[in-house]
Amino acid sequence: MTRSRLPGITGILRYALALLPLLAPALGHAQDVPVPDKGDTAWMLTATVLVILMTIPGLALFYGGMARSKNVLSLLMQVFMIFSMVALLWAIYGYSLAFTSGNAFIGGFDRLFMQGLATDSLAATFSKGVYIPEFVYFVFQLTFACITPALIVGAFAERIKFGAVLMFTVLWFTFAYLPIAHMVWFWAGPDAYTDAAAGAAATSGAGFLFQKGALDFAGGTVVHINAGIAGLVGAIMIGKRIGYGTAPMQPHNVAMVMIGASLLWVGWFGFNVGSGLEANGFAGMVFANTILATAAAALAWSFAEWIHRGTPTMLGAASGAVAGLVAITPACGWVGPMGAIAIGLIAGLVCLWAVAGLKHKLGYDDSLDVFGVHCVGGIVGALLTAVFCAPWLGGTGVYDYVANAVGEYSIATQFKAQLWGVVVSLVWSGVVAAVAFKIVDLVIGLRVAEDQEREGLDTVSHGERAYN
């Protein structure tokens, strides 16, 4: 029996060996397909949850605590519903317009209604040959899109119609957030930079501000300057609250402010560290920078307030911490720990000046200091990125993916690139916000009636009270 079967087995082996050369290309191709690391994937899902935490409940409680008791629910509701609405808009068209190929200013429709987005689709990271599932990248960026318009509402809190908030959000998200996100963050990924010619071709297809060399690691321009200037435009166009400057308008619950600020700080690690898209030693540096800059800004604001008015306040410490978080956001992946501390100290002092001095000098009513903290802090962070990114000041420099090494660095050259990011974000978002507010005002009106404002938006807009 054994001898009779041997010729058959030998023939099969010979046939298989003959097929190996034909199978080799296919086997090699299968081996070339990147497989996302489960550690990176798990971290990015965790980071996504952290950004949700910093929005709902973090931002909602931070804003709600600073409002008067008759308006606290209106802030909670605005943040909650903006998050919910923008999440759907992101799935329908937002992700496609922000993160697919189009032109230098806006993406295309390759992912409209999430078409083509499968569980095996991949998104590039910042390391050659390293990818994460595109679905993970989709939900991570969704949380950025949701929190940004929610930041804006603090500037004109306590006097705007709820319907006006929702309508403005749709317009501003579509025509301001998505183009700025595309201009700053869209590129082909590191694997496209195989040589100088390929690198030049890849850069030419990237977003406008990416082409200009503007650095924004986690959203100084895309999130904070973008939202902050829109908030200022809204505060001016809607007008001051009744009694502003004459009636007391103190935060109704400073403990809630502290809880909200703490949740923001915790959630911000997802915001900043997650923007590196990988779980590695670099992520540890970004984590450290986020802690140190925030602590420095909280101390700078508190001690300056202590010297100026005689007492340090919890509201000041919380505001300083948020200012530090904002300022380190664009810089956290480019600077070293000492640079992060310097950025935090400077941001704490500059944002305090913007809130306590600039606002009163110019006379606008930015209810919860969105412009003074987010826009001013974002500008400080974006510009100081150019300084402390320098390798001789402890920064990382800018990586050259063609040479596979850190390239030559010039503070002056990078500062010009950062100015491009700041100015384009200010102008683009400011103009879009002004047009959007005007459209909303013409269609449904921006502001509640005077008697409704005096009564409070909680009962007028939502039929509820936070406290009985």
CA distance 49 to 273: 13
Contact 228, 375 (CB under 8 A): yes
Q: What is the pLDDT along the chain (468 residues), one digit of tens a residue?
A: 333 333 444 444 454 444 444 444 443 444 467 899 999 999 999 999 999 999 999 999 999 999 999 999 999 999 999 999 999 999 999 999 999 999 999 999 999 999 999 999 999 999 999 999 999 999 999 999 999 999 999 999 999 999 999 999 999 999 999 999 999 999 999 999 999 999 999 999 999 999 999 999 999 999 999 999 999 999 999 999 999 989 989 999 999 999 999 999 999 999 999 999 999 999 999 999 999 999 999 999 999 999 999 999 999 999 999 999 999 999 999 999 999 999 999 999 999 999 999 999 999 999 999 999 999 999 999 999 999 999 999 999 999 999 999 999 999 999 999 999 999 999 999 999 999 999 999 999 999 999 999 999 999 999 999 998
394 three-state secondary structure: coil
pLDDT of residue 34: 87
- DSSP symbols for 43-93: HHHHHHHHHHHIIIIIIHHHHHHHS-GGGHHHHHHHHHHHHHHHHHHIIII
Three-class SS of 280-304? CHHHHHHHHHHHHHHHHHHHHHHHH
216 three-state secondary structure: coil
> How many residues are given for the chain?
468
Sign of CA dihedral 462, 66, 327, 40: negative
Residue 355 makes CB contacts below 8 A (sequence gap 6+) with 319, 369, 372, 373
Closest CA to 424 of 234, 213, 196: 213
Task: Find the DSSP H helices in 153-251.
Answer: 162-172, 178-185, 196-204, 208-211, 226-238
